[in-house]
Amino acid sequence: MTPQLWIGIAGTVFALFFILNGMRLSKGPEGHAANAGRLHIVMAGTFLPIMWMVIMMGTL
């Protein structure tokens, strides 16, 4: 496997843990932590497809 794919796999795992942490935070009491958790989910969800698009363009 190419180094780009390993970077993609590691980035995906990192982003999924980021999403899981966001889900954990968003289920807590309302306030800063819950809002930060929702932001974690949105940002990681936005990051994943962009990261893979950049990785796939780099392998061409």
DSSP conformational letter for 31 = T
pTM for this one? 0.82
Burial class (CB in 10 A: 0-12, 13-18, 19+), 1: exposed
| pLDDT at position 58 over 90 | no
- Which domain covers residue 45, as residue numbers? 3-58
Model confidence pLDDT, tens digit, residues 7-56: 999 999 999 999 999 999 999 899 999 999 999 999 999 999 999 999 99
pLDDT value at residue 23: 96
Structural domain total, the chain = 1
